[in-house]
Structure 1
Amino acid sequence: MKSVVCAAPGRLELAERSRPGAPAPGRATVEIRHVGICGTDYHIYEGKHPFLDYPRVIGHELSGIVSAVGPGVTLGIGTPVVVNPYISCGQCVACRQGKPNCCTRIQVLGVHADGGMCECIEVPAGNLYPAGRLSLRDAAMVEFLAIGAHAVRRSQPRPGARALVTGIGPIGLGTAIFARIAGLDVSLIDASSERLAFAHERLGFGSTFPAGPSAHEEVMRATAGDGFDVVFDATGNAEAIGAGFGLVAHGGTYVLVSVVKNEIVFSDPEFHKREMSLIGSRNATRVDFEHVVASIEAGLIPTDALATHTTTLERVIEDLPLWAHAKSGLIKAIVALP
């Protein structure tokens, strides 16, 4: 079968790999139909991912059709599914507490193990969720949206509270959308005027701020100096994460959606006087995936606006390197398989 392999940093190949055999007990085979391209895929191509061995079949934002099931699997053949790419061990301290998204031995498809930018993949059946009434294109967007949905749920949102999302790439936009669905009063800040215009004109967010030297004063002035009840960071930038502490209101919450390799340094007196809650948010769980599916079905997610680019398995080895650098107009690129 055809598979897109990142053979080494800067080198993508369309390779032939063996199709999976008959699925083992508790597992299922999925014919892949759409694959979303994520920032992780760009980082793998650029050689910036810290947890990856080459060569690797990339791709973890997946939808498809169940084509075979192993013993003990009740999911029907022919079922359209969303693939949860976070393969957990089921036994560690996190898994025992119902948090497989932060399993101590997690294997993420396309990162720790070969992913789904290929014609067919075998995965644990428990990682497959029925796509319901979603198109398979929209089903391939569920995973990245679930990350934002999980972050919002982690914040324990209070309807009417003021929220700020810093960094509005796809993850930040998903976070903003689900913060709005939760009833929060959402503002956005980003260095890209194009992204801010997109969020305002296409997604209907009214309060936006350009990042820059005067951003802190402008954002705080908009809240009469109070700051925001909850701040979500999706910048992937250590300096921006540090600056975000000063935007949280007294008694507020700071949710770190993005992750950086750097150490994050903040003022302990400022942190304590606010009695601030600092929360990490990693990946997503089944309840978040299901919330996204239900929200798309209810017409609450503008998927047509988010899906800006499309390609094929054959063309992606040329398109992905281009999109890694030329991001103007790009929100979510999706690989479509026949």
Structure 2
Amino acid sequence: MIGVLIFPDFQLLDAAGPISVFEIAARYAGQSPSIRVLAATPGPVRSSSGVEMLARGLKSAGAITTLIVAGGEGVDVAAKGKTTLAFVRRLAQRGVRLASVCSGAHLLAEAGLLDGRRATTHWQRTRQFLAIHPKVKWEPDRIFVRDGDIWSSAGITAGIDLALAMASEDFGEAIAQQTARQLVLYHRRSGGQSQFSSLLELKGPSGRFGPLLTWAREHLDAPLTVEDLAEQAGMSSRHFTRAFIAETGSTPSKAIERLRIEVARQRVQASGEAIERVAELTGFRDPERMRRAFIRAFGQPPQSMRRAARAV
């Protein structure tokens, strides 16, 4: 059973996102969803948007095996609640899998459950939490982090990424992929809050073709044809293409384009290099070709992404 812990002024999507993931995944697995919303004070709990969610009391958590703690504007007050902190500690002692979404990590840290552990949170709260919880190994550029039985995720929608990873563990990779498709989401997003990483989006990046993809990333200025990739993998072109699609769910050419897009995005946002130079170094050659690829992937051209990054 999945438990979702909320409190007054919680962020609605922090709770609703993971709930939807586990509901859909359970149905694909042929099971009835088993999800319970919990709060220190049972009854309607008002989110920061004004929308209420009906919660049960903490005493009804006996059967849960996973607890997801929402974040939001009310987390600072919730993290001072002795009853809530004691409840979370008891679940940890019982071996329940714990997770936080966004600033919900503050509540787990206040309970002392993140001391000495790796964790992440929304990028806007990282500096504050570093000062408040110096014993936590904060990783600010991660979509989600798992350290043993404790998971944490970055801002808001990252709770969906975290829940998809948990669903993969609970129901299997195929169910998690089906769930992501139903939600019209990437199965895996970036390990960074930059929101995009082609290597991690590909199925099984640490599998048979993991080293090849890493090599390709380091040689994006080369043509990287199917024949080049097959030779590097020590396979015939035909066999390589079939095996690559079966392993990653992507054609070699699509995978290389996604790698080019990722590296080009990083250069565009983090450097002052000319757009033409970025296109050359990442193998697009033609800036117009790179512009079209950016619009397909991000909905905006490189120049707009650079302006937005500088504004931040």
TM-score by length of 2: 0.28
Give the number of the structure whose residues are more often strand, by fraction. Answer: 1
Using CA pairs below 8 Å that are at least 6 residues apart, which structure has the higher relative contact order?
Answer: 1
Which of the two has higher C-alpha Rg? 2
